[in-house]
Amino acid sequence: MQYVLIALALVIFWLVVMAPARRQQKKTASLQHDLQVGDEVVISAGIYGTVRDIQETKVTLEVAPGTVLTVARQVVVRRQEKPVDEPMDDSMDEPMDEPGLEHDEPRRTGTAGDGTPDAASGTED
């Protein structure tokens, strides 16, 4: 019975940890193999760039106009996602109100809530 539980735990571990990692590794290897000039990519250091030249083990990336990096092909980890043209959410442009304050009531700073100076703020009215 103990051996069955151990085997079951190993199978679950493999399904949860190893299988997704293996799929991701194959996906990354496929991406590195299928790189083309003009692809916008991200390398493992978090640097974004456009592929300008591809060699057997190296990739030349343009990270800014006139700035070119030559990196190992293995550090390219993903393609850069194209930005989606969505309308911006304007709800964040409006100021957030503090609960309990009216719009024309001044905000109190440095007080203990009852109008007396707060000892921690070091200010006196």
C-beta of residue 59 within 8 angstroms of C-beta of residue 51:
yes
Q: What pLDDT is recorded for position 112?
A: 57
Q: Residue type at 48?
A: Y
Bridge partners (DSSP) of residue 20 are none
What tens digit of pLDDT does each residue of 52-97 get?
Answer: 999 989 999 999 999 999 999 999 998 887 765 555 555 555 555 5
pLDDT over threshold 60, residue 123: no
Ordered alpha helix ranges (H), the chain: 2-13, 19-33
Residue 107 CA to residue 109 CA, distance in Å, equals 6
Residue 60 CA to residue 54 CA, distance in Å, equals 6
The token pair that represents 1 in the structure block: 């019975």
Domain borders along the chain are: 2-79
Q: What mean pLDDT is reported for the chain?
A: 79
- pLDDT bracket for residue 101 (50, 70, 90): low
What tens digit of pLDDT does each residue of 3-52 get?
Answer: 999 999 999 988 888 888 889 889 988 888 889 999 999 999 999 999 99
Q: Is 41 exposed, middle or buried (0-12, 13-18, 19+ CB in 10 A)?
A: buried
CATH number listed for the domain at residues 2-79: 2.30.30
